[in-house]
Amino acid sequence: MSLHAQHLPHSPQHRRSSLDDELAAERAHLSDSRAALARMRERAEALFATGDKVAGDAYTAEQLGRHLARRVAELADDPRTPLFFGRLDFGHADADHAGRRYHVGRRHVTDEQGEPLVLDWRAPVSRSFYRASARDPQGLAVRRRFGFDNGGLTSFEDEHLDRGEELGTASRILTAEIERPRVGPMRDIVATIQPEQDELVRADLADSICVQGAPGTGKTAVGLHRAAYLLYLHRERLRRSKVLVVGPNRAFLAYIAAVLPALGEVEVEQAVVEDLVDRVAVRAVDPPAVAVIKHDARMAEVLRRAIEAYVGEPTEPIVVSDGSFRWRIGLEPLHRLVHETRAEQLPYALGRERVRARVVGLLQRQAEARRAESPSEAWLRRMGRVQPVAAFLDTVWPALTPDGLVHALLADPDRLAAAADGLLTPAEQALLTGRDSAPGAGSGTKLGRTPKATRWSAADAVLIDEAAGLIERPGGYGHVVVDEAQDLSAMQCRVIARRSEHGSLTLLGDLAQATAPWAATDWRVTLRHLGKPDATVVPLTVGFRVPADVLAFANRLLPALAVDVPPAESLRRDGVLEVRTVTDLSGATVAEVGAALAHEGSVAVIAADDAVQRLRAALTAAGIETATADEPGSGPRVTVVPATAVKGLEYDHVIVVEPADIVAAEPRGLHRLYVVLTRAVSRLSVLHSAPLPAPLD
Ligand SMILES: Nc1ncnc2c1ncn2[C@@H]1O[C@H](COP(=O)(O)OP(=O)(O)OP(=O)(O)O)[C@@H](O)[C@H]1O
């Protein structure tokens, strides 16, 4: 049933020639499809060229232009990737597709008559390609998978589901895809999405989901394919509300950047959390103890109380001179008006405008009563700005900026004490305001006289975003995919929660790979901070990256990591693990890289951050060119990566230098080492001169 099917009753020669005929027919279908796609693209390009001439006005022309440019980009054909990767032959008994045959690929391709040559993998009918089984054939007689090399069709593999045949993970085409040497950035997995992954990819837009999966179980792949799927199904809605992918660092974003465009999706925003909170430049570094407090969920309440404290009580009536008239609003209605606005719990700036509007409304009523006519718009606007009204607003609801609020809080211990009463200890407050006398303690923030003159830390930027969320109504996304979510602090979760309040989330992570000081230990807590407490937590346990022997070695660390996660099982039986004691680490690294270069694929040297420069220099001195992690695939095959920057990445051959130093470099060093050891696709070499960390010994 597998490659070059065994069901043909004739002689081997006959069988071979019949299979060759089949392959030739499929190749012809491929070239027809490519030609049809080229025609579709030409048509789109022609429309794009004339688009501005047919549009009635500048706005329509711009909208149309954008739409057509996107269409052209979506129809790009990468000759190195196959246009289709599967075929579905429906049985005669199927109600909707009896006897029909469809090729499944990256996007719809139709011929001149509009007949489908290739169906998009996201179309409802394509679902059977991923989900049909011998037990539940979903109307299929045969599922065919194609093997490709460099865009050319090389083989196929049939499963006669109607006869109870099913290959599952024994598929040779799946195995070849998983075991292929890695080079360059991440690729899509549309051809080989597994049923449990497909279930997550096709989850409803309304559903927020959290995927807990061991290294290499395809979490990132699932998240990106879900984004592509949702965009296909809810194109217009998500084009307006937008989709965002949040990753842990720039190297990771560079690594995944090509996946969605390869699937025809060119409009998804990709960002690290720092990009989302960029109202201020980060120019200071907090000591860890201070950063931990600033990232704590209690700070949200401290800020909420701090902003509430700005709302004051009216102390005198408002009196406005208006030509020959004098309008007066007494204290009692002013009290009522502030009280009512407060009860509405609007964002602070909206509350201020609501108070202004209500004051103007009261003035208007007096003016109408006296003059028996409605005042003009201009009059209303002027009343909103006159000095007595402005002075009143500045007393009861003063204007505030996000950085102004945080600045005032950090600069004034009494203000902080009032807002943090019962929430932060006096010692914690002292750390925040920099009044802690211990050397090296105190906030990293360099407070200036004004917010603009202040040198803010990364954690301050998160607090300022929280403040902004209290002051204004933030814009949001229709769907947000968050990768490596185990490292988000409570306050970072809130950054994302504000941007997904009216949308849904796909949260991806692994508690065992959590390295941040505030790292998650329970997804339920993270989900609460993200505002999606009811999201389902789904495990992925089949490993597609790390070979079984390498995974078993890395898994020795798991008991020491104190997390409750389901263990993964690797699909890969190949792979090489070598652990060697050496005396000269640099020399041994150079030799190991030299040997690795004899194989295909990417090579990474991963070491404690402070060893990176030395190792890079040693390799350069030996004539070996090296790249950095944020330029995947563009230059040399060898990358030297600091241990702290390797999350989410993978390399064919990984050389880990001195694990003990990686562990010693940070409080959650063992978790970091677990991440480092699980980056290898084919081979892992561990070089050490110091003893290995205890769990590995
Ligand atoms: N169904 C699949 N078919 C083929 N390859 C797959 C499949 N699922 C995942 N992979 C491959 O396995 C590798 C690991 O996937 P991915 O990076 O998504 O895992 P991850 O769970 O996010 O890992 P980590 O936790 O280490 O970040 C990638 O090369 C990916 O393309």
Please name the helix (run of DSSP H) or strand (run of DSSP E) that holds residue 404, with its range, or none. helix 402-411
Residues contacting residue 71 through CB under 8 Å, at least 6 positions apart = 44, 47, 48
pLDDT at 51: 58
Decide: 540 and 213 in contact? Cβ < 8 Å.
yes
Q: pLDDT: is 269 or 372 the higher one?
A: 269
Q: Is 28 annotated as a binding residue?
A: no
**Torsion-angle region of residue 88: left (phi > 0), alpha (psi -120 to 50) or beta?**
beta
The residues with which 348 forms a beta bridge, in sequence order, are none
Q: Is 691 annotated as a binding residue?
A: no
Ligand 1 within 6 A of CB of 286:
no
Least confident of 94-98, 125-129, 680-684: 94-98
Decide: 184 and 632 in contact? Cβ < 8 Å.
yes
d(CA 469, CA 475): 10
Please name the helix (run of DSSP H) or strand (run of DSSP E) that holds residue 160, with its range, or none. strand 152-160
pLDDT at 323: 85
ipTM score for this prediction: 0.99
The terminus-to-terminus CA distance of the chain in angstroms comes to 45
pLDDT surpassing 70 at residue 54: no
pLDDT (tens digit per residue) in 136-148: 999 999 999 998 8
Decide: 167 and 159 in contact? Cβ < 8 Å.
yes
Q: Is 213 annotated as a binding residue?
A: yes
pLDDT (tens digit per residue) in 512-571: 999 999 988 899 999 999 999 999 999 999 999 999 999 999 999 999 998 888 878 898
**Residue 515 CB burial class (10 angstroms; 0-12, 13-18, ≥19):** buried
Q: pLDDT: is 5 or 86 the higher one?
A: 86
**Number of neighbouring beta carbons within 10 Å of residue 586:** 18
Ligand 1 within 6 A of CB of 221:
yes
**In 167-325, alpha helices (H):** 172-179, 195-201, 219-233, 235-241, 250-256, 259-262, 273-276, 288-294, 298-308
pLDDT (tens digit per residue) in 377-414: 999 999 999 999 999 999 999 999 999 999 999 999 99
Q: What percent of the chain has pLDDT over 70?
A: 92
Decide: 593 and 619 in contact? Cβ < 8 Å.
yes
Which residue is associated with the tokens 């305001």?
433
pLDDT at 81: 77
d(CA 516, CA 491): 13
d(CA 145, CA 538): 28
Ligand 1 within 6 A of CB of 218:
yes
Instruction: In the chain, count H helices and then E strands.
Output: 28, 23
Please name the helix (run of DSSP H) or strand (run of DSSP E) that holds residue 141, with its range, or none. strand 140-149
The residues with which 565 forms a beta bridge, in sequence order, are none
Q: Binning pLDDT at 50, 70 and 90, where does residue 179 land? A: confident
Ligand 1 within 6 A of CB of 337:
no
CA of 572 to the centre of ligand 1 (A): 12
Q: For CA atoms 659, 665, 670, 671, give the dihedral sign.
A: negative
Ligand 1 within 6 A of CB of 677:
no
CA of 546 to the centre of ligand 1 (A): 9
Q: What integer is the mean pLDDT of 315-322?
A: 94
Q: Is 217 annotated as a binding residue?
A: yes
Residues contacting residue 498 through CB under 8 Å, at least 6 positions apart = 465, 469, 474, 476
CA of 186 to the centre of ligand 1 (A): 9
pLDDT surpassing 90 at residue 465: yes
Q: What integer is the mean pLDDT of 433-445?
A: 67
Please give the DSSP secondary-structure letter assigned to residue 348: H
pLDDT surpassing 70 at residue 438: no
Q: What are phi and psi of 237, to 5 degrees?
A: -60, -45
Domain architecture of the chain: domains with CATH = 12-180 (no CATH), 211-279+475-542 (3.40.50.300), 318-393 (no CATH), 548-688 (3.40.50.300)
Residues contacting residue 630 through CB under 8 Å, at least 6 positions apart = 250, 251, 254
Tokens read off for 650? 């993978």
pLDDT surpassing 90 at residue 152: no
Pairing of strands 140-149, 152-160: antiparallel
**Number of neighbouring beta carbons within 10 Å of residue 326:** 10
pLDDT surpassing 90 at residue 180: no
The total number of residues shown for the chain amounts to: 697
**Number of neighbouring beta carbons within 10 Å of residue 405:** 24
**Number of neighbouring beta carbons within 10 Å of residue 127:** 17
Please give the DSSP secondary-structure letter assigned to residue 451: S
Decide: 19 and 4 in contact? Cβ < 8 Å.
yes
pLDDT at 243: 95
Q: For CA atoms 526, 528, 532, 538, give the dihedral sign.
A: positive
Counting from 1 in the atom list of ligand 1, the atom nearest the Cα of 213 is 21
pLDDT (tens digit per residue) in 618-652: 999 999 999 887 776 667 899 999 999 999 999 99
Q: Is 294 annotated as a binding residue?
A: no
Q: Is 216 annotated as a binding residue?
A: yes
Please give the DSSP secondary-structure letter assigned to residue 96: T
Decide: 535 and 209 in contact? Cβ < 8 Å.
yes
CA of 184 to the centre of ligand 1 (A): 14
* DSSP states of 473-534: -----SEEEESSGGG--HHHHHHHHHHSTTSEEEEEE-GGG--STT--S-HHHHHHHTT-TT
CA of 217 to the centre of ligand 1 (A): 5
Residue type, 50: T
Ligand 1 within 6 A of CB of 642:
no
Tokens read off for 604? 């990474």
Counting from 1 in the atom list of ligand 1, the atom nearest the Cα of 221 is 18
Q: What is the 3-state secondary structure (H, E, C) of 601-620?
A: CCEEEEECHHHHHHHHHHHH
Counting from 1 in the atom list of ligand 1, the atom nearest the Cα of 222 is 18
d(CA 168, CA 172): 10
Please give the DSSP secondary-structure letter assigned to residue 126: G
Tokens read off for 135? 């037990």
d(CA 188, CA 520): 28
425 three-class SS: coil
